[in-house]
Amino acid sequence: ARGHWSGTLAGAVQYHFGEALSLAGGPTRPGIVHRLDRDTSGAILVARSDLAHHRLARQFHDRTIEKQYFALVAGSIDRDADLIDCPIGVHPHQREKMAIRRHDEQSRPAQTYYETVERFRGFAALRVQPKTGRTHQIRVHLHHIGCPVLCDRQYGGRAELTVGELSGDPSDGTVLLQRQALHAMRLRFLHPAHGRVMEIEAPLAEDIQAAWDALRKWRS
């Protein structure tokens, strides 16, 4: 509701753009064309007219928008690049989660391509491109291959990352990261008005950058 937007993306968008926003996504999501998982940072598209909203939403539906994410993951990854092709459905016992469901009629095809950017002892940095747009897709797929997104409370089993965990000094409890290390870094799409190719980038969030720097310092 409009009275409960404090600290939300919808509230920030409304504050920045005022009333000049599309309402095609509903009154509680003014201008917001697509979603990011809670605690995922990065680029998101906002439409200022219903026509622009519909045209951008159609590109998401048709999978013509290219999305690229940056992720820090826990675990050792051997391949330089790979395509994870596993269907995703609702978790059989925890309805708020998703899971790989190969023999479930309700599951949907899902594909995620990744490239290994940098390896560390027990961790890795990845560039990730989801080919489909399933709920929690990147997080579920990376968990499936044994490399969950770092500090992913739902799929990774770790709530935070401290300096001491990386440096080996248990007395240093300085917190580096308290949310999943997943960042929407780039979107490539057709402008809804003139049709030209557009590419936007979001600089890496400070907490993820700090965690990456710490991995380079203590786990290279």
- Enzyme catalytic residues: 37
Neighbours of 93 (CB within 10 A): 7
Q: Among 200, 202, 213, 179, which residue's Cα sits nearest to residue 40?
A: 179
69 forms bridges with which residues in the sheet? 128, 184
- What is the end-to-end Cα distance of the chain in Å, rounded? 47
Q: Nearest-5° angle of CA 197, CA 70, CA 84?
A: 90
Half-sphere exposure of 159 (CA within 13 A, CB side): 0
